[in-house]
Structure 1
C-alpha cells in the first residue's frame, strides 16, 4: 500500500494536538503509510478565510487527490470545529474521490455519536465515500491503542479492500 496517497486533515485550533496524534495513528493503522500528507488546519490561519490563498488552494488539491483521507476534529458543542468546516467548504461535491474516514475526539461518552451526526453529514454532502462508521475516541484515551482496536478490526478490511480497488490515474502504481 505504499503507493497510496494518504492525507490527514485535522480541524483542532491547537497545532500539534491530540486530535492530530489520533488521526495520524488511524491513518498509519489503516494503510501502513508513514508518509501521509498532514494538514494541521491550525497552521493555515487566516488563509482559510481567503479563497484566493495559494497555500490553502494547494492543500485542498492535495487532499482531493488522496486515496485515503482521515478527517478529524475535536468535539465542540456536539459538533465539528468551525476551522474544519471552513476547510471542508472549499470542496465541491465529488471533489473527494478517495476513501474518507471521520474521526472525532471528545471529553466524554455523551458525544460518542458526534462523528455520525456532525461530521458524516458534511462528508455526505460532499459525496465522499465514507464506508465505515465514524470513530469517536475519548481525549484521555487518544494515546491508548486499545481505544482504537475494536473500530480498527472492523474498518481495516473494508478500507483496504476499497483502496485496493480504487481507480488510479494512468501512471500511478497500485
Structure 2
C-alpha cells in the first residue's frame, strides 16, 4: 500500500525553511517507496488564493482532501499561522478534511509560541474534520543544523500514536 501524502506550506516566501521542516518530517515518518508526496507551496499560488472560483485552488483543495496524511506547515505570525494558510483552509466546507490525518507544524524564532500548532492550528484542522494524531510540532528555525535529530524525535512520537490508534481499531479494514 502506498500512502498518499501532501505537504501544504503557508509561508509567503517560496522554498522556505518551513517547507524543508515539513518535507523532512514526511521523510522520517515513512520508508522510501511507501508514499507518494505532493508539496503545495502556497507562495506559488498567491495570485489565485483569493480568487473565487479558482479551478487551480479547487484542484489543490481536492488533492489535499483525498490525501491519507497532510502536513500543514507555516511560520508563526502574530503567535499563530499565516493568513495565506488560513485562506487556503477557508476554502473547505464543514468536514471538508474528514478522514484526513493532519499534522500541524509551525516554525518560529524561539520557543515563545511553541504551543501554537497545538492550540491554534490543530483546532482548525479538527473543525474541518481532520484527525490530528497528537500535539502539533513546533520547530525553532535557528536549529536547522539539528533538523534530522529534532524531526526524527517528532516522527517517532507520531508513529507511536499511529500504532496505538491502529491497535485500538483492531484487526481488519480500518476504513
Q: TM-score, normalised by structure 1?
A: 0.87
| Residue 62 (structure 1) shift | 0.3
2:96 aligned partner: 95
1:107 aligned partner: 109
Tell me if 1:146 matches 2:149: yes
Q: 1:103 to 1:21 in 2, by over 3 A?
A: same
SS of the equivalent of 1:36 reads strand
1:172 aligned partner: none
Q: Aligned equivalents of 2:173 and 2:82: distance in 1?
A: 32
The Cα offsets for residues 84-115 of structure 1, whole Å up to 9 and x where unpaired, read as: 00000011222212211111100001111110
8 A Cα contact 2:28 2:151, kept in partner? no
Kindly tell me the number of residue pairs found equivalent between the two proteins.
166
The Cα offsets for residues 28-73 of structure 1, whole Å up to 9 and x where unpaired, read as: 2222356411000000012110121111110000000000000001
Q: Which segments of 5 or more consecutive residues in structure 2 lack a partner in the other structure?
A: 167-171
Q: Aligned equivalents of 2:55 and 2:95: distance in 1?
A: 21
8 A Cα contact 1:104 1:136, kept in partner? yes
Q: 1:55 to 1:8 in 2, by over 3 A?
A: same
Q: 1:165 to 1:151 in 2, by over 3 A?
A: farther
